[in-house]
Amino acid sequence: MQTMMPPGGSKARSQALAELSVLQHQLLTAEKTGQLLEQAQQESLDDTDRANLLEMRRHYDNAVLVPEWLVEAKSLAGARCEHAWRSQRPANDWPGFADNLREVVKLSREEAQIRAQAAGSSRYDALLNLFEPGMRSSDLERIFGDLKTWLPDLLQKVVAKQAQQPCLMPQGPFDVDTQRKLSLSVMKLLGFNFDAGRVDVSAHPFCGGVPEDVRITTRYNDQEFLTALLGIVHETGHARYEQNLPRDWLGQPIAQARSTAIHESQSLLFEMQLARSSDFLKILRPLVVAQFGDQPALEEGNFIRLNQRVKPGLIRVDADEVSYPAHVILRYEIEKALIEGDIEVNDIPALWNEKMQQYLGLDTVGDYRNGCMQDIHWTDGAFGYFPTYTLGAMYAAQLFATIGNALPNLSDDIARGDLSALFHWLQQHIWRHGSRYPTETLIVNATGESLNPHYFRQHLENRYL
């Protein structure tokens, strides 16, 4: 649907997916399912079975709250909004996009209200819980509130420092087929299993599928290659997690990824902690030169500066890791207000521009394509997703710091292109556990403490100052 389907197939595919969503919902929420879960609660189970049953119950309890008509309506509205977005975004057509988005927001609010009443929570917290179980907006306010006290100053210092360090830009064009070959070589270096996945092109990079068949995508630009390449690294991080989930439990909830933030921690560990490190960039550079030939901008020192460049920009997926959290906080604040009913869809562009000015000093007036229409997440009602990107970045920093302590030779290993010890650690402490443990337990077991944003700040200061 995202990579190969012709535009004319959208309506039929959307209807088919909506029907499947309803059938799946009927099976999951059937009275018999509830009875079986109740019976299973009474059985004598080992710890693993008990954890699996808890996940089953969580999925069931989440599903049984929502009526069939809403499941179908959300599926259809989301598909319609996403498909139209593909042509509306290049056309900078905010009025057309807003018409579809209003219906998505209306249905998302209805779902949020139903879930909030059952949970005794706010509407936004009810949706956030679907992506990051146990997380509340009060936690986000604390974490993001602290971030906002030091990130703007850090950003200014880094930009000022780097202004004194000249950096040459690679001269294109860069053939798309050659970029694809580079992508494949980097995926191989990162351990992607090509017998259980592939890479394609889509309007927005993503990772999807099942552990036995993981599909990732990127988007290419023949004027520059780094955006697509780092997109590949990011999605390969997602894919390696999926490909290494516990095989003995495939098809069971316990074999699924723990949460969206943990998933993002893996992609951001690959993209930011690993791929933007000087050690990794030294082994990445020869792969780039092998495809595009050498030029002054690809000299080792310049290549490292190029990939560690901090420059506030309009596009989230292209953002450096210092300015990236500002993009996430902006979206979180807008989507929370939208779901709670404090603002309406028509208010988004002005609020977006106000926050871009406040957090990144950038103007988006009239530029919807590179402003509030740039992302795909709101098109299908994934409200509550965006905060997990920065939570994931924080988990990634904490995990990588722990790995560095556990593997004293990690830096030398990376510089030699030997990533086996790093991947083995991730497999032992994160990947193989799937949803066996709650997020906090998983992180405490892996690092010795709960989420600690200090590691993220320390990482940024160490690398950029």
Q: In which band, very low, low, confident or very high, does the pLDDT at 181 lie, cut at 50, 70 and 90? A: very high
According to the model, what pLDDT value does residue 238 have? 97
Average pLDDT over residues 12-38: 94
Q: What is the mean pLDDT of residues 169-184?
A: 96
Q: Are 395 and 96 in contact (CB under 8 A)?
A: no
Upper half-sphere CA count for residue 325 (Cβ side, 13 Å) = 24
- Tell me yes or no: is domain 176-308+387-464 CATH 1.10.1370.30: yes
* Mean pLDDT, residues 267-288 taken together: 97
Is 83 labeled as ligand-binding? Answer: no
Residue 205 has pLDDT above 90, yes or no: no
H helix runs in 89-121, sequence order? 94-119
pLDDT tier for residue 204 given thresholds of 50, 70 and 90: confident
Of 399, 388, 433, give the one whose Cα is nearest residue 274.
Answer: 399
pLDDT (0 to 100) of residue 244: 97
pLDDT at 308: 97
Q: What is the pLDDT of residue 195?
A: 97
Q: What angle do CA 316, 429, 411 make, to 5 degrees?
A: 70
- Taking a C-beta distance cutoff of 8 angstroms, is the pair 52, 40 a contact? no
The structure tokens 């951001």 sit at 268
Return the minimum-mean-pLDDT range out of 20-29, 202-211, 213-222: 202-211
pLDDT confidence of residue 402: 98
> CA 321 to CA 181: how far, in whole Å?
26
Is the pLDDT assigned to residue 317 strictly greater than 90?
A: no
Residues carrying an active site annotation: 235
- Please tell me whether 327 is known to bind a ligand: no
Rounded mean pLDDT of 410-425? 97
- Cis amide linkage into residue 173, ω under 30° from 0: yes
The pLDDT value recorded for residue 27 is 95
* Chain centroid, CA 20 distance in Å: 25
Strand pairing category for 213-218 and 207-210: antiparallel
Task: Round to whole Å and give the CA distance between 81 and 376.
Answer: 9
Please give the DSSP secondary-structure letter assigned to residue 224: B
Chain region(s) in the chain for CATH 1.10.1370.30: 176-308+387-464
Residue 10 pLDDT greater than 90, yes or no? no
pLDDT at residue 1, as a whole number: 84
- In the predicted model, is pLDDT for residue 150 greater than 90? yes
pLDDT band with cut points at 50, 70 and 90 for residue 31:
very high
With beta carbons less than 8 A apart as the criterion, state whether 48 and 254 touch.
Answer: yes
Q: Is the pLDDT of residue 7 over 90?
A: no
Q: Looking at residue 282, what is its pLDDT?
A: 97
- Please state the φ and ψ torsions of residue 207, each to the nearest 5 degrees: -130, 135
pTM over 0.85: yes
Q: Which two tokens stand for residue 227?
A: 């955006």
Residue 417 CB partners (closer than 8 Å, separation 6+)? 189, 283
Q: Is 344 annotated as a binding residue?
A: no
Q: How many CB atoms lie within 10 A of CB 215?
A: 19
Q: What is the pLDDT of residues 333-370, one digit of tens each?
A: 999 999 999 999 999 999 999 999 999 999 999 999 99
